Amino acid sequence: MRAEREAFILQAGVDFRILRAIAIEHPFDADAAILDVQSPGTPPVQAENPIFSHGIGHQHDERSEVQEKAVDIVQEEASRGALDIMVKVEELKQMLAHAKEANDMVHAGEVFGEKAILATEARELQSRLLNLSDERDKSLAILNEVDST
């Protein structure tokens, strides 16, 4: 279907660069886009004397039909491009969520490691405190013995 449309537009002599530029300029206004679309090197159609305008009107109708199809194709491509952008945004959101989760896991590992180190140091300090308490008790016992003699 798309290939048929593109062949139709190429046969009619419509330049895709012009159509894309117009689609960007008028993304949601097909009527304005149709008014801007012209085949390269073709002057705009102007109505002349009503007696002679029948042939020109027919050319204008054909050209309008070609332009409408061209605009439809460009709008379809633009919406497909917007969809691609939205898909990429969703992919980036998922990547961000995974990166954040991985970062949180690394941080949790660091916290766990620091907690283990602090627990070990607390046990060592308790052990030293008990040893100092025992030494104090022994020293007091020796002093009491010396005082009693």
Task: Give pLDDT tens digits for 55-71.
Answer: 555 566 777 888 888 88
Which residues form the domain of 77? 2-148
pLDDT-derived band of residue 73, with 50, 70 and 90 as boundaries? confident
Which pLDDT score is estimated for 37? Answer: 47
SS (H, E, C) the chain: CHHHHHHHHHHHCCCHHHHHHHHHHCCCCHHHHHHHCCCCCCCCCCCCCCCCHHHHHHHHHHHHHHHHHHHHHHHHHHHHHHHHHHHHHHHHHHHHHHHHHHHHHHHHHHHHHHHHHHHHHHHHHHHHHHHHHHHHHHHHHHHHHHHHC
Counting the structural domains of the chain, the total is 1
pLDDT digits (tens, 9 = 90+) for 94-116: 999 999 999 999 999 999 999 99
Rounded to the nearest integer, the mean pLDDT of the chain is 76
pTM > 0.85 = no
Percent of the chain with pLDDT over 90: 40
Average pLDDT score over residue span 45-50: 45
